Amino acid sequence: MRRPNGMMICKTETEIALMKEAATLVSKTLTEVAKILKPGITTMQLDTLCATFVKDHKAIPSFFNYNGYPHNICASVNDVVVHGFPTNTALKEGDVVSIDMGVILNGWHGDHAYTFILGEVSNEIKQLVKITKESLYKGIEKAIVNNRVGDIAFAIQEHTEKKYGYGVVRELVGHGLGRNLHEDPQVPNYGKRGSGVKLKDNLVLAIEPMINLGTKDVFTDNDGWTVRTKDGKVSVHFEHDVCVKKNKALILSDYSIIETAEKANSNLNTSYY
């Protein structure tokens, strides 16, 4: 998502607790997706499901009409990196589906993403999903006080591009999060150790590796939003909401409930775990 100019805003403990509620609601919504996702369903059906679930929990889907974005979720399938429009096209066996969404709850934003595999795919695609997810946690390990943004970026790039030769997207980055969907600082998925702004206590970041099986190069469709890999190969996207702390980052979002639903759904492939 495109971000406005802003400033780096550290939160109070009370505000962090409220942000955790918002982040957890996103996790719960993605869990509902994990329960029903299967070949034959459409991403437009998922969009409706997510919007209804969020509104039923007294929150607002934050992506809708953000800078003109026309949907409640981003549904990025196969070669779509991010910002894919939900459609009425049925998903099929072998699709790789990233769902990215945000909410506003009590004035605070939650925003994260998860990638699902529908049925059987090649081992190289399963490895891409596995390594991208691992790289997210490698980045989170560096989200501690007095480290720098470049430490997060380097950790993600080292685990994906340098070890496995995957394409790390340059044009899209993670970001700060708070009362605004996009705040400073930007959090790239590539960079140098010790570079960038210094991380402060209770700064909240949306860390989100976007990793391609092939080239790092991407292009944007004529809709002005949908970002695709230039070589047509699969891309994977994971995102957590993370609070910077002194010794260990605090993850505000919750993948465990998504993973439990994912494993219980026979239509989803979790053999990459």
Would you list the domain boundaries of the chain? 13-264
CA 106, 207, 234, 69 torsion-angle sign? positive
In whole angstroms, what is the distance from residue 225 CA to residue 214 CA?
21
> Rounded to an integer, what distance in angstroms lies between the CA atom of residue 127 and that of residue 271?
10
pLDDT recorded at residue 5 = 45
How much is the pLDDT for 150? 98
Quote the CA–CA distance of 146 and 65 in Å, as a whole number.
36
In this prediction, residue 1 carries a pLDDT of: 45
CB of 137 closer than 8 Å to CB of 160 = no
* Confidence (pLDDT) at 67: 96
C-alpha dihedral (177, 183, 184, 185), degrees to nearest 10 = 40
Its pTM stands at 0.96
Give the separation between CA 62 and CA 73, rounded to whole angstroms: 9
Structure token digits, residue 141: 């390990």
User: Which residue in the block uniquely carries the two structure tokens 């006080």?
Assistant: 145
Indicate the CATH number of 13-264 among 1.10.510.10, 3.40.50.410, 3.20.20.70, 3.90.230.10. Answer: 3.90.230.10
As to burial, measured by CB atoms within 10 angstroms (0-12 exposed, 13-18 middle, 19+ buried), residue 174 is buried
pLDDT in tens, the chain (273 residues): 444 445 789 999 999 999 999 999 999 999 999 999 999 999 999 999 999 999 999 999 999 999 999 999 999 999 999 999 999 999 999 999 999 999 999 999 999 999 999 999 999 999 999 999 999 999 999 999 999 999 999 999 999 999 999 999 999 999 999 999 999 999 999 999 999 999 999 999 999 999 999 999 999 999 999 999 999 999 999 999 999 999 999 999 999 999 999 999 999 999 999
Q: Rounded distance, CA 157 to CA 210, Å? A: 10
